[in-house]
Amino acid sequence: MNRKQRRAMEARAKKGDNAEETLATQAALFDKIPEECTACEAPFDRTDREMVDTWRVVVREQDKDNPVRCYCPSCWGTAQEVLDNFLKSLPDEQE
């Protein structure tokens, strides 16, 4: 084996390790994603790429029992609206 081949092999091994680690972390988290919207209980199919792309997953590490919540696009939109309205309803701070 010459130097070039060895370097290529080492690079490949290193890359492989990292990929595996990331995959394991994601898989552990992925496993905790609920199978329904936390708000409206619409079914969530985590094998559906489009759903995975459009739904929002929120991780709250301080919540040990239920750290991962997911929201369908419409609930997420509603939540943003409610938050927006709430922020708008707050009185401007007076000095």
Cβ neighbours for 30, distance < 8 A, ≥ 6 positions apart: 46
Size of the site for Zn ion (CB under 5 A): 6
**Closest CB to Zn ion among 25 and 80?**
80
Token code pair at residue 87: 């922020």
Q: Indicate whether 70 belongs to the interface with Zn ion (CB under 5 A).
A: no
**Nearest distance from residue 43's CB to Zn ion, in Å?**
10
* Residue with tokens 């290529």, as numbered in its chain: 8
Residue 45 CB burial class (10 angstroms; 0-12, 13-18, ≥19): exposed
Question: What is the chain's Cα-based Rg?
Answer: 21
Q: Which of 33, 39, 52, 79 binds Zn ion (CB under 5 A)?
A: 39
Q: Which residue in 37, 44, 55, 70 binds Zn ion (CB under 5 A)?
A: 37
- 94 burial (CB, 10 Å; 0-12 / 13-18 / 19+) is exposed
If the CB atoms of residues 26 and 74 are measured against Zn ion, the closer one turns out to be: 74
The residue within the footprint of Zn ion, chosen from 24, 40, 59, 82 (CB under 5 A), is 40
**Contacts to Zn ion by CB under 5 A:** 37, 39-40, 42, 72, 75
